[in-house]
Chain A
């Protein structure tokens, strides 16, 4: 195929993959090209990639969805979108597509070390949403730690964009050390300007640290919200989510109103490769966001 023909095939693909019509795409296994606008270093090992589409419309997504990010010739990884879903839909596409990733493997290393202008492949968006609007009129509790804040950021931005539609909004955030805190300045802004009750804790602190030390799940017991009139959105490692969800139900939050973002191995993102199965669930299409009532029995069986 000539380059022109390849471009035609791509723009054809791009036309259908933009927006929520991925299902109609001829082949959802073929990526769209995005150029790196900038790579922002957030912490020692965590970076945010800001991407612009090379051809076609910007990608619209729902908070909680992920894409398959491809580093040319290296490989592909599932990464939650961490940007603002309303910004992309709003003004026709000046906002870049954002992914916050930890540099832990070959693909993520290639992505975070790429120069601005380098093209990467993007498939998606895939998966279910946090659907925070369901919490309208209720208190909202976000519980997360480390890079788990990245998949929740779009949901938090949706809530503060219509802040007066919600009751109390809490963000309980845990981090390994004070240096590993992600989006620190932004969390302070949410607290100062958007009436978000941000509570932080760290696992390990240097001598003289004045903040809280301990696990994020310990914050749940004393946090000020009305459990029976609350929705909770939790993102973190499996054991952390199980213990957070257990603490939340312990305070009286109904399990159907606790949403978790599940992580499994994923190779396709579209329910075909089989890797992400959790008993009958394909986490990539039935999830990643699932309610605790649904997944609790599956989280308590080891190695399921």
Chain B
């Protein structure tokens, strides 16, 4: 179709070096201990080579792949959220002068200015960035640090060919292949989109029979989203591809979508939660939920924060920090007299209702991208798709086909 390019695995190293030369801080998936996280990528060696993962409710395990895939895993343990929205950052620093009767000055903290190149961001996490752009930077009041960090971001997305058991992006309409444009803004969603073609195993026999040995080797199909993206593939002299390469890329993500077993019916879920405030299901889930806050810490769209003030022993210097917070903690809703949401059932209800219902009223979009992290990282294995389906059944408003298959 349009302008398709092909990169070999070795070209990925060239791409990273080129981005760094251009002054980008390259951020992507990297192995840390027994997990894949989002971190700085200095060379192709920082990407996970031949590593896959197995994610099921309450379990995350890395696996060794039989091939040399660079993006052969599902959602990393942490999304790109902390890149633009760190878990803890200084909002301002202040100094008080005791001699002058409590006079103080404040100095706004300014974040690191170098633009980020997101390398290998998956469609679920890319959608989460779009959601944060709206929530944190697209309304009347903006998060100044987020807005500054997002400035000039280059996006090299990866179409996901390896969904985990916990994934349900297809049902949320957010993946596994990212839409070329942002639904709300109409702007290009990525500068470049890579689809990793690992080896002959992933291809169907018909394609196998008709292709050259070269086409069967490990490579990346590159789709161009912006002029900036085109400039980069031109600069690293990426080979030209064909419509057939793109067709294969689509085939890989179609197969990935078909392998997903979990679903949320996004047409009915807003109304299901709207009418379920007094559902007996909350008691049931509260008996399992530990209110540990894990789901909110790994969720790529959760944006709640608190502030914490720290001062030195003399009381002269103070810092105000903005830190991630969670609606699962008792302190979260505390006002003088006690927390508004005292029970775990009220807190779980707040979280899932916000994600799947009130988020739409607030921002015109759902707050869940189907990455499945809350399922994987819940120590009790609570499954948002199962809870949504149960509430759908109990309210009588849910789709009859939306039940989780586990």
Contacts and interface: CB of A to CB of B under 8 A. Distances in A.
Nearest to B139: A271
A23 B306 CA distance: 20
Given A105-B336, A265-B335, A301-B278, A273 B139 contact: no
Q: Which among A28, A117, A273 has the greatest number of chain B C-beta atoms within 10 A?
A: A273
Q: Which among A31, A75, A267, A301 has the greatest number of chain B C-beta atoms within 10 A?
A: A267
Nearest to A22: B141
A72 B96 contact: yes
Q: Chain B interface secondary structure, helix, strand, loop or mixed?
A: mixed
A33 to B, nearest CB: 7
Contacts of A1: 107
Contacts of A302: 346
A303 B346 contact: yes
Interface stretch (B21-29, B114-122, B206-214, B326-334): B326-334
B362 A117 contact: no
Interface stretch (B33-41, B254-262, B307-315): B307-315
Given A29-B144, A271-B139, A303-B343, A76 B309 contact: yes
Interface string A148-192: 000000000000000000000000000000000000000000000
A54 B336 CA distance: 30
A76 B307 contact: yes
Given A274-B325, A275-B325, A304-B346, A119 B141 contact: no
B101 interface: yes
A9 B141 CA distance: 19
Interface stretch (A91-99, A219-227, A240-248, A279-287): A279-287
Given A273-B304, A279-B358, A285-B141, A10 B105 contact: yes
Which interface class (under 10, 10 to 19, 20 to 34, 35 or more) fits B? 35 or more
A75 B309 contact: yes
B362 to A, nearest CB: 5
A27 interface: yes
B340 A265 contact: yes
Nearest to A28: B141
A54 B354 CA distance: 41
B361 A280 contact: yes
B186 interface: no
Interface in B334-371: 334-336, 340-343, 346, 350, 353-354, 358, 361-362
A72 B307 contact: no
Contacts of B278: 301
A102 B335 CA distance: 13
A13 B144 CA distance: 13
A272 B143 contact: yes
B209 to A, nearest CB: 55
Given A263-B335, A264-B335, A303-B342, A272 B136 contact: yes
Contacts of A277: 350, 354, 358
A116 B202 CA distance: 75
A275 B141 contact: no
A280 B101 contact: no
Contact of A104 (B106, B108, B336): B336
Contact of A30 (B91, B305, B332, B335): B91
A274 B301 CA distance: 12
Contacts of B304: 273-275
B94 interface: yes
B140 A271 contact: yes
Interface string A1-33: 101011101100100000000110011111101
Nearest to A126: B141
Contact of A9 (B108, B144, B277, B354): B108
A105 B346 CA distance: 25
A76 B144 CA distance: 19
B306 A275 contact: yes
A75 B315 CA distance: 13
Contact of A115 (B94, B102, B140, B311): B102
B105 A7 contact: yes
A30 B105 contact: no
A132 interface: no
B101 A72 contact: no
A72 B333 CA distance: 23
A14 to B, nearest CB: 11
B397 interface: no
Contacts of A303: 340-343, 346
A73 interface: yes
Contacts of A10: 105-106
B105 A3 contact: yes
A121 to B, nearest CB: 7
A119 B103 contact: yes
A30 B322 CA distance: 12
A53 to B, nearest CB: 14
A102 B104 CA distance: 24
A114 interface: yes
A114 B136 CA distance: 35
A10 B92 CA distance: 12
Given A23-B141, A275-B333, A304-B346, 4 more contacts: A9-B107, A54-B103, A270-B140, A303-B346
Nearest 6 pairs between A and B by C-beta? Answer: A274-B304, A73-B311, A118-B102, A303-B346, A280-B361, A270-B141
Interface of B: 91-92, 94, 96, 101-108, 136, 139-141, 143-144, 277-278, 303-307, 309, 311, 315, 318, 320, 322, 325, 327, 332-336, 340-343, 346, 350, 353-354, 358, 361-362
21 contacts: A6-B105, A10-B105, A13-B108, A22-B141, A26-B108, A27-B144, A30-B91, A33-B104, A72-B102, A72-B315, A72-B318, A73-B94, A74-B309, A268-B307, A271-B140, A274-B304, A275-B325, A275-B332, A277-B354, A303-B340, A303-B342
